[in-house]
Structure 1
């Protein structure tokens, strides 16, 4: 599996290393502004495009096997690192921490897709004999952020798409259930950040998390992408940087 990846280095030799995993239908290049904030604080950022996303090859929205992604991460991450995942990337990051021996020092989850996130499960069952069949992921760009300009950029970005295949959706639903059921395996300091008005993932599932290693912080008026939120962007950054000290 060939994965497109990139890195952004700070202007210092004494830096921390963070790996960033993007969400469904998008790609790592959307995080440049967030990455600049991290670079300015002496944090190097390594990131990549998931299969079927961004510059990584494959049918749009098709992740053939999530465990191949975990295997990629196993070989990609170095020692002494921090892991950040947003939405689907938060699910991938959570599951990776649950199964790997190469655990990060800290984990940051931004609006992670955990627990019961099933939508149109009857449709997936109906079309299960067509695993690579594509359909819309039904993400409304204007449900992503309180910043309408950011939503417009998302909608017009040629590398953003709304596709997902049957097998990717089925795996995502299954892995999200497993991630929440095995959340006690997350045995490192973890910060979970989410908006109280998020309609993309099921934030009610976060109430089931009883792991003392995981600190949950909610943001009033916040939607799915807090890093693009006109009310909470600075607070979002501050909470992360405080956690990384």
Structure 2
């Protein structure tokens, strides 16, 4: 386990070239925006699943750095997010998000380069569960799994009774406005926080109770299946993340069955390590890990 120290950075990550934009259709007929940042003769392809309440366009700066390293990036807006249709941040069943991941991978798999599935925050939860439960049955040939600040466990301060109550509320009042995401907890960089608050494609309202309950139930499924994971695995998390639980990453890294696994904890970083003060160190390490396994 590595615990890098922070280095200073004071500006918002610089946006890169605009992606190619098209659409994909999920197995249940939902049309989602697909974003591709291509490179000629890529050495690797990354299929990225974004987090709760955000959208794929927030990863343009990351795409620029991946492209510079010869890595192409594919991403979608999940249903109910960004430019995708649907009630904002609503999901009836967590498996609906797995259908979105399926559509993303269908598009990304057309590349001949080694394919990595990556997810941030709730997207990390989606990527982990997809890999555990669906990748093999779908015949996916993945080279690695990358989890950035993944939502893999409830917060350490969340009592069990509250988790049980969330499931009851989900059944009787599924659209109850259960919680809001505090943008100040995303990054120590105030420019990142300000950009998030003024991003019209980010959902700044409440998250419905049903969505929250489905996120919690998916954590249990991941816990049951993580020992069977065999893909090369990279997990990284900020130690001061208050939106997803760093201990969830620690436990997942320890219990995952992958013989090739790397857990990195970034000391002092908030939730979006790739947009925090030590973002260069985070992304350099990400690229190095991908390139080594794509060779």
**TM-score (ref. length: structure 2):** 0.77
**Aligned mate of 2:94, from 33, 54, 66:** 66
Partner of 2:182: 140
Instruction: Point out where structure 1 has 5 or more consecutive residues left out of the alignment.
Output: none
Could you say which structure has the greater relative contact order, defined with CA pairs below 8 angstroms and 6 or more residues apart?
A: 2
Partner of 2:125: 91
Could you tell me how far 1:185 is from its partner in structure 2?
2.4
2 CA distance for matches of 1:123 and 1:106? 33
Partner of 2:197: 155
Could you tell me how far 1:184 is from its partner in structure 2?
1.5
2 CA distance for matches of 1:213 and 1:94? 15
Could you tell me how far 1:183 is from its partner in structure 2?
1.2
Contact 1:25 1:163 in 2 (8 A): no
1:57-80 CA-to-partner distances (Å, cap 9, x unmatched) read: 011111223223323433432164
Alignment of 1:94-105 (within 5 A): 94-99=128-133, 100-101=135-136, 102-105=140-143
Instruction: Point out where structure 2 has 5 or more consecutive residues left out of the alignment.
Output: 1-29
Alignment of 1:223-238 (within 5 A): 223-230=270-277, 232-238=278-284
Partner of 1:171: 214
Matched, 1:244 2:272: no
What is the SS of the residue equivalent to 2:96?
Answer: helix
What is the SS of the residue equivalent to 2:172?
Answer: coil
Contact 1:50 1:63 in 2 (8 A): no
2 CA distance for matches of 1:129 and 1:35? 42
**TM-score (ref. length: structure 1):** 0.91
Deviates more, 1:50-59 or 1:65-74: 65-74
Partner of 1:43: 71
Contact 1:116 1:177 in 2 (8 A): no
Partner of 2:34: 5
Could you tell me how far 1:125 is from its partner in structure 2?
1.8
**Aligned mate of 2:234, from 191, 194, 202:** 191
Alpha-carbon distance change, 181 to 214 in structure 1, aligned in 2, over 3 angstroms: farther
Number of positions where the alignment pairs a residue of Structure 1 with one of Structure 2: 242
CA RMSD of aligned residues (A): 1.9
Alpha-carbon distance change, 13 to 207 in structure 1, aligned in 2, over 3 angstroms: closer
